Structure 1
Amino acid sequence: MTTYNYSRLSLAPMLDLTDRHFRYLCRILSKNMLLYTEMVTTGAIIYGKGDYLSFNEEEHPVSLQLGGANHEHLAICAGIGEERGYDEINLNVGCPSDRVQNGSFGAVLMRSPDLVCDCVKAMKDRVSIPVTVKTRLGVDELDDYDYIHSFVAKLRDAGVDGMTIHARMAFLKGMSPRENRDKPPLNYDRVYQLKRDFPDLHLSINGNISTLDDALKHLEYVDGVMMGRAIYQNPYMLMDVDERIFNQKPSRRMSRKECVRACYPYIENYLSQGGALKHISRHFLGMFNTCPNSRQFRQYMAQNHYREGADISVLEKAMSFIPDEEISAEQ
């Protein structure tokens, strides 16, 4: 069985949230967890004018999530991702947004398992790094266990190195992308059953996992746990990840303020290149959510971090509202 210890806990790909700035903050907090990019479409990489693949060397291990359905284009993009230094390539087969539906990829691909297998094989033939798939339990009427079992079996036979399964259905008809995040009922037991049926396949679970206690419970049944919005809303919970999930006690525990200040060299470098503070500082708004005066912190940030010329003095002033007492990470 192929094992990737770093995927015992991973950061879920989230559009407009898990950019390289937030991933940098996550790496300050945890040295071991796997970080995913936002989904990047093959069209953006091949035809776009911007650089959609930039990341910081400090982010490793980091996985590039691709969106697309053309196996040749996916192979090209996977190759570019490997050349750029990514540690893993992940194919999105679970996103239910209108954008991916119009492009016939994401969760739409659950209707075409043979096509997904062709895509995986093409990427595997191109790169030497792991190729994984993130998907759901089913789509629309394809909602029984036999279907997802067959889907996973075909991908295993195609050589996929691992899968992350969001323990919900995707409904492309009659449900918005936002509703798809929360409304379809969770079925963790079905993911556990898949792990029992495919013991040699590296399998991670995703979906409404909000604490490290929850993650540890899931790790009794699967190989990895993916968390998203809970981390974004309270990034400081990651301060406990290396010790609790990866059994590596840090030499020194950092406070929330110290974690933010550890980003200052990165921020100053970004500002010196013409970047705006708000592009990074927006990701700090959840760092003090459980602290006294967190509202004042957020208010000051909201009023000042977007201003032209804003620098780390804005962060220092905002943090001055927060008492210095240390608070445990998962509070």
Structure 2
Amino acid sequence: MINTDISNAYPTNRFSIAPMLDWTDQYCRYFHRLMSKNTLLYTEMVTTGAILYGKGDYLQRDAAEHPVALQLGGSAPLDLAQAAKAGAERGFDEINLNVGCPSDRVQNGRFGACLMAEGELVGDAVKAMRDACDLPVTVKTRIGIDDLDSYEFLCDFIEKVKAQGCDTFIIHARKAWLSGLSPKQNRDVPPLDYERVYQLKRDFPELTIAINGGIKTLDECKTHLQHLDGVMLGREVYANPYILSTVDQQLFGCDKVPLTRFQVLEKMYPYIEAQLAQGVHLNRVARHMLGLFQGLPGARAWRRHLSENGHIPGSGIEVMQKAASFVHEE
């Protein structure tokens, strides 16, 4: 049975939006939250070094973003513990460890997908983070790496991390090639194996298992939810963010009428004006909204006007209003 009243409870992983570098920043999350109150949002991956030693505020968020998880990148248990504690103090709802990113830069820092080969270290990191804060600690990973891609290898990894208290895993249903493929190719070239993730849930029924990778529609989400506890969408939401408008109704059983695309836009204006007043350039927010009118007449003109004018210093709400004037709802 779906829990339709989760406003005061810890967010489930029933539906979430993947953490992605250069995408799921605070502006993107605020925009997405307007369309779905129940979707679990994630930050971009933030390294422990950035949190502990960086000069910027890498934990910036708006109170309206809840429920929101902080995804960490790192491998040193002590550093991860300190970063998790910092995330808890800043009001995040979950700490997630990245064990899925295959980029060379990430590997050189000894975190991301390469950690699948070090299950005991990941387990130690999970324990350290759980000891340091009261938040749920989850792991996002792949089904394998390079030639370590057997089902037995995946189960062994899960067992080692589970033993240290992790009870929630988000599985990208592709393995990662740590050399020979770019991060972009690793999102498309290795074949998807949804059945392997389904089998993982059958063999570990006590765990919360969510699936990620290649999912594009809410109907596909419903199919996966017949086998698993949760679904995570990634780039499809960026290309077509309005898919979120019926998530609460279709996946969480809510009966509230969705906002129209233009209502979403109107609700963004006060937020954008507040950001502009703080010196944020319009494009930093507007770039996340380019796909809002996808499929409608005038959507291309909307994107073009924002792209050509949103980066100009001093651009304001009038640019968005002009761009929106090209769009016509069917």
Contact 1:291 1:322 in 2 (8 A): yes
In structure 2, the residue matched to 1:25 is 31
Question: 2:115 is matched with which residue?
Answer: 109
- The aligned residue for residue 69 of structure 1 is 75
Worse-superposed segment, 209-218 or 303-312: 303-312
Could you say what secondary structure the match of 2:134 adopts? coil
Q: 1:318 aligns with which of 309, 317, 323?
A: 323
1:209-237 per-position Cα deviation (integer Å, ceiling 9, x unaligned):
00000001000000000001000100001
Give the TM-score normalised by structure 2. Answer: 0.96
- In the other structure, the counterpart of 2:307 is 302
Matched residue SS, 1:254: coil
1:256 to 261, 265, 277: 261
Q: Tell whether 2:207 aligns with 1:201.
A: yes
Distance 1:176 1:295 in 2: 29
Give the secondary-structure state (helix, strand or coil) at the position aligned to 1:292: coil
Aligned mates of 2:83, 2:205 — CA distance in 1: 30
Question: In the aligned structure 2, how far is the partner of 1:18 from the partner of 1:281?
Answer: 13
Q: Are residue 235 (structure 1) and residue 244 (structure 2) matched?
A: no
Post-superposition shift, 1:175?
Answer: 1.2
Aligned to 2:12: 6
Any residues of structure 2 matched to 1:13-162 within 5 Å, and which?
A: 13-162=19-168
**Partner of 2:153: helix, strand, or coil?**
helix
Match of 1:328 in 2: none
- In 2, Cα distance between the equivalents of 1:74 and 1:260? 38
Q: Does 1:277 align with 2:282?
A: yes
Preserved CA contact (<8 Å) 2:143 2:175: yes
| Shift in Å, 1:266 | 0.7
Q: 1:221 aligns with which of 227, 231, 250?
A: 227
What do the CA deviations read for 1:141-167 (whole angstroms, capped 9, x no partner)? 101000001111111111003110000
Give the superposition deviation at 1:199.
Answer: 0.4
Letter in 2 for 1:67: G
* Letter matched to residue 310 of structure 1: S
Alignment match of 2:198 (pick from 192, 197, 213): 192
**CA-based RMSD:** 1.1
Decide whether the 8 Å contact of 2:238 with 2:291 is kept in 1: yes
- Identity between Structure 1 and Structure 2 (%): 54
Distance 1:5 1:272, change over 3 A: closer
Secondary structure of the 1:158 match is coil
Q: CA deviation at 1:253?
A: 2.6
What one-letter code is carried by the residue in structure 2 that aligns with 1:57?
Answer: A
The SS at the match of 2:223 is helix
How far did residue 301 of structure 1 move?
1.2
Partner SS state of residue 197, structure 2: helix
Kept after mapping to 1: 8 A contact 2:218/2:247: yes
Aligned length: 322
SS in 2 for 1:242: helix
SS at match of 1:133: strand
Alpha-carbon distance in 2 for matches of 1:300, 1:68: 40
Shift of 1:304: 1.1
**CA distance in 1: counterparts of 2:10 and 2:140, whole angstroms:** 15
- Residue type of the alignment partner of 1:131: V
Does structure 1 retain, via aligned residues, the 8 Å contact 2:33–2:64?
A: yes
Cα offset for 1:294? 1.1
* Partners of 1:6 and 1:61 within 8 A in 2: no
Q: Does 2:285 match 1:268?
A: no
Runs of 4 or more consecutive aligned structure 1 residues displaced over 2 Å after TM superposition: 3-6
TM-score using structure 1 length:
0.96
Cα contact 2:297–2:329 (8 A) shared by 1 = no
What is the rounded CA distance, in whole Å, between the counterparts of 1:39 and 1:109 in structure 2? 15
- Asked if structure 2 preserves the Cα contact closer than 8 Å seen for 1:88 and 1:132, the reply is yes
Equivalent position SS for 1:190: helix
